Amino acid sequence: MINQQSAGGVVVNGNKVLLIHWGSRNTFELPKGTIKKNETKETTAIREVFEETGYKTKIIKLLGKVSFIFGWDDGKKYKKTVWYFLMKLNQEKQFKKSLLAHEDFKTLWLPFEKAIKIASFDDIKKILQQVQKLKK
């Protein structure tokens, strides 16, 4: 099994939260990605949110981490740990996304209740619920 460390963000703007819809997999997720060599968790989260959504963000605080095991298209098993940060927009302008060939993401600004309902994975639902409680 291959260990992998990732970081991502829960981007909040008013009463809405940013999700990505991965079209080819039909999943609703939070933006995240692999931590590169010589990169911090924080730098990765900011970079990945920008690459996958086109939004420039600022970290407010660390929310925590989740770990899970999954199989990928390469036939290998991975144990992934994802560090999630609460983030806000630096500016509301959306820039061009920098997606990899297999990433067909669409960005969605949704009210928390709807985002929690459609999130594809339980760990994402829990992180969203945690942030929703912080907002109250």
Give per-residue pLDDT as tens, 8-67.
999 999 999 999 998 888 999 999 999 999 999 999 999 999 999 999 999 999 999 999
CA angle 101, 114, 94 (to 5 degrees): 45
Average pLDDT score over the chain: 91
Give the chain's domains with CATH numbers: 2-93+102-135 (3.90.79.10)
pTM across the whole model:
0.90
> What whole-number distance in Å separates Cα of residue 6 and Cα of residue 61?
16
Number of helices (H) and strands (E) in the chain: give both, helices first: 3, 7
